[in-house]
Amino acid sequence: MSLSNRDQREKRPPPVPLHPPPNADSLARMISNARKSRGGKKIGIRDRICCHQWTWFTMATGGVANVLHSVWTPYRADWLWYIGLFFFIFNLCLFIMNCVLITMRFAMVPGSCLHSFLDQMESLFIPAVVRPIRNYFVGVELTYSLFNRTATILINICEYGIPMTGPWLQRVMEWLFWIYIVVSVVASAGMYLILWSTQVFPIHTMTPVWVFPGYPLLLTAPFASTLIAANTAASDNPPVDGLAIAMCAIAVQGTGFLISFMICAAFIYRLMTQKLPRDMQRPGVFISIGPSGFTVAGLVSLGQQSHVVIPDTFQGSAHSIVILRLLSTIIGLWLWGLSIWFFLVSVGSLLKYVRPERKMPFQMTWWSFVFPNTALVTATLALAAALGSTGLRITGCVMAALLIVVWALVFATMIRCLWNRELLWPKELEDE
């Protein structure tokens, strides 16, 4: 071996350990220091609030409200509309409560706010807060939770609010759409840049949760289609700039989908080399359903509304509207098949838990059983409307009913774990 090669080997950086040492500034240590500073002895409500993380900003409840509105649209049943309205209001209440609790945590545990953005797990969930605005718009899933929940809330406002109010809410939502576009693009790029600059994620730890910082981009097309549809339903309101909204949404949606597609490709590589994720990470496999599902729901809905937003002679052709409708439906079918494939893989990854001796510990990631599947259900119903297929419509309704059952089971399990001190409980402090 030559001297130059020997020198190069000596200068190589040390390998990344499979199990990195614990962070000296971990949340548990911060809580312990804050607790000692105020002389606390017994674990109380303050200590439990200090355990609140970005993972609690899930978009599952708002997603169910969106699904119920999609089911209501072809049937116009009042009871469906009121159930969807309940989920929308309940989601809004949960969002406000989580905002209050996370603010209290930051106030009571100095340094935990900055820590949440730099922590290898928690930072990934922050974008989820923006996603729920679609309904009224600790780790990777935390960042995503904040932005996506915001988006879900915004979408639900368009669905349940604009048709029941005057033009003022429509104008507000139109402004919020453009603000959301800017914030989601900047936040997504910024969060990935922070992660790439401060953290190292070994491939054996990879799950679809890595998509979370880009998830806010995936809700722009559903947001745009819902805003345009709400404007059409409220015929007395002045028209929105549908062409600009639709084209901008397609550009941002395409960016988000391509980012998520590349990450899902890396996830398949991880599965081929490292097998399925661990038990605690297994629910995150369902996240791979969302990117293509939300893209189908948004693009197909926009395509079906092309006669509203596209001029008759768009791009110099009198057949532009027909071409765009056909193109959006074909692309939707293509990506819908991808969602179905990921759904089958995700369900198959849970088969071992059918046996009574195999149990999966509850984590907030269990909500991944719900929110990615809301995208699949809305995509199925959008294709049913585009193709005029009664079979697809019935399939979508059955999927929606099953999804509500899953939501109820996860919610009940979460409440039980809260009561049994399995959630929001600083186990590291029990021996102090």
pLDDT tens-digit readout, 100-125: 888 887 777 766 666 655 554 444 44
* pLDDT of 418 above 70: yes
Q: What is the pTM of this model?
A: 0.81
Per-residue pLDDT, 133: 37
Tens digit of each residue's pLDDT (9 = 90 or more) over 226-262: 999 998 888 777 888 889 999 999 999 999 999 999 9
Which amino acid belongs to residue 44? G
Distance of CA 330 to the CA centre of its chain: 25
Band of residue 345 on the pLDDT scale cut at 50, 70, 90: very high
Per-residue pLDDT, 404: 96
The C-alpha atoms of residue 48 and residue 403 are separated, in whole angstroms, by 30
The C-alpha atoms of residue 194 and residue 215 are separated, in whole angstroms, by 16
Name the E strands within 243-393. Answer: none
Q: What is the largest CA-CA distance in the chain?
A: 81
Tens digit of each residue's pLDDT (9 = 90 or more) over 135-151: 332 444 455 566 778 88
Per-residue pLDDT, 46: 74
* pLDDT of 129 above 70: no
Closest CA to 210 of 222, 220, 201, 221: 201
The C-alpha atoms of residue 201 and residue 179 are separated, in whole angstroms, by 31
417 or 175: which carries more pLDDT confidence?
Answer: 175
Average pLDDT over residues 274-278: 84
What are the two backbone dihedrals, phi and then psi, of residue 128, each rounded to the nearest 5 degrees? -70, -20
The C-alpha atoms of residue 2 and residue 277 are separated, in whole angstroms, by 42
In 10 A of CB 360, how many CB atoms? 14
The C-alpha atoms of residue 86 and residue 243 are separated, in whole angstroms, by 32
Per-residue pLDDT, 41: 58
Tens digit of each residue's pLDDT (9 = 90 or more) over 163-217: 888 789 999 999 999 999 999 899 888 888 877 887 777 877 787 888 888 888 9
Per-residue pLDDT, 52: 74
Which amino acid belongs to residue 346? S
Per-residue pLDDT, 311: 80
In 10 A of CB 292, how many CB atoms? 28
Average pLDDT over residues 292-314: 90
Instruction: Say if CB 159 and CB 227 are below 8 A apart.
Output: no
Average pLDDT over residues 54-75: 88
Average pLDDT over residues 85-108: 86
* pLDDT of 16 above 50: no
In 10 A of CB 340, how many CB atoms? 16
Name the E strands within 202-295. Answer: none
Name the average pLDDT for the chain.
Answer: 80
Residue % of the chain over a pLDDT of 90: 39
Q: What is the CA radius of gyration of the chain?
A: 23
Per-residue pLDDT, 244: 93
Q: Which residues contact 12 (CB under 8 A, 6 or more apart)?
A: none
The C-alpha atoms of residue 211 and residue 63 are separated, in whole angstroms, by 18
Q: DSSP characters for 67-90?
A: HHHHHHHHH--HHHHHHHHHHHHH
Closest CA to 171 of 231, 235, 250: 231
Tens digit of each residue's pLDDT (9 = 90 or more) over 358-372: 777 788 888 889 999
Per-residue pLDDT, 84: 94
Across the chain, how many H-helices and E-strands are there? Answer: 16, 0
Domains, the chain, ordered by start: 45-351+363-429 (1.50.10.150)
274 or 56: which carries more pLDDT confidence?
Answer: 274
- List the structure tokens of 427: 């186990």
Closest CA to 62 of 7, 143, 136, 142: 136
Distance of CA 243 to the CA centre of its chain: 26
Per-residue pLDDT, 126: 43
DSSP letter (8 states) at residue 217: G
Per-residue pLDDT, 191: 80
The region of weakest confidence among 27-36, 42-51, 229-238 is 27-36
